[in-house]
Amino acid sequence: MDLTLHSEFGTLKSVITHRPGPEIERLTPYNTSELLFEDVPYLEVMQKEHDQFTTLIRETTGATVYRLHDLLVEILIKGSILSDIFKKNLSPHGLEKYVPDITFRYSTSECASMLIAGIKVKELMKKFTCPELEKMDGAMYLIQPCPNQYFMRDPASVVQNGVICSQMKYPSRQRESNLIKLIFENHKLFKDSFRQIYPTDAMNDNIPSIEGGDVIVLSNKALAIGSSERTDSDAIKKVAAAVLKDEKVERVYEVDLPPKRNFMHLDTVFTIIDENLAVTYPDAMNSVLRTTVYRKGKEDSDGNMTLDEEVIDESITTVLKKEMPYLEVIETGAGNPDFSSKEQWYDGANVFAIGPRRVISYNRNKFTNRALREAGVEVVETSSSELSRGLGGPRCMTMPLERQVF
């Protein structure tokens, strides 16, 4: 498998998703903020909605849909990988010496689930006990849960010449990215084609944050990255230097986003659904008045490539029209301010392109969906009463690996 993507809208060939599981049951009204949620979803309905979503992907595209949990099990079968990752997660509690005894008592599938759903002291003590555990609070997490894991877009981004492995803004989400990197490095489907372009090997400490929701492939020659509350400008510059170096990409756009909850990532502001068509949230598009474009510069005295920077003090819509000739824009809520703000809260602009002018969208965003259909877009609606409570849309729930190349 060639882990590169050259568009956001080529017919989907393969994708990774994560079916919400026990990690969602860890949410309570008292820890939602700590775990970066706004609400407590109903897991059983959430799973039915996610099953519908992945079934629609398969039925409409014929794409291969990989489940994160399955991929994780397939690499953890190799005992050394399982042992290493559990030692890393349990060493802060002084339990690394017990890892062989702990993992022996659980199946590989259970171990994979623990890395996503977490485990408490009292839960581990049902199968294993030791003096260190007996001194701990039974309700304490030895491995923290990852309820945001079903937002598969954030942990990594496949782009034109490799993979950006996310450095998550909040430490509580970093394991999401670490698990994906572990899979790419070790799974037989990916390890031979995995090329990590960020972070580089030289970056060990204080790595600037970047999240996949801020990364959008504009074309085979251009990449846009949002400078947001989750992605640092320094990270964008380092990614730009890496992707521009081999000349597959000619332009990297840094798009300044206002620090607002409903502008959290660039893909909540706009998504590309054809070579000349985008879905946008008008309030955000009008608020973005500064974009920096990076191009390949000259080498400095040490042989390192420099970046040529050009600041464009114009709306992002204007910038996109320069990059995408004859661009058409469809606004969330069909441009009605009341409908637009409501449907943006449920990620109206965050549709998932499964092919040119073919998208999967939440059924609750009816005015946006109507506007898309009036523009000739095929809209496949998926249920969203519970999935949307995490404040992420269909695009957020997917990590595309392969698309048809135009």
Question: CB of 3 within 8 A of CB of 14?
Answer: no
Which residues 6+ apart lie within 8 Å of 192 measured at CB? none
Write down the catalytic residue from 111, 146, 165, 396: 396
Q: Output the six-digit token pair for 206.
A: 């204080």
Q: Which amino acid is at 13?
A: K
Does residue 396 carry a catalytic annotation? yes
Which residues 6+ apart lie within 8 Å of 83 measured at CB? 99, 100, 103
Element (DSSP H or E) covering residue 378: strand 378-382
- Closest to 117 (Cα-Cα) out of 179, 207, 26, 198: 26
What letters, b where the CB count within 10 A reaches 16 and e where it falls short, cover 269-299? bbbbbbbebbbbbbbbbebbebbbbbebeee
How many other CB atoms are found less than 10 A from the CB of residue 226?
A: 29
Could you say which DSSP state residue 330 is in?
E
Task: Name the residues annotated as catalytic.
Answer: 396
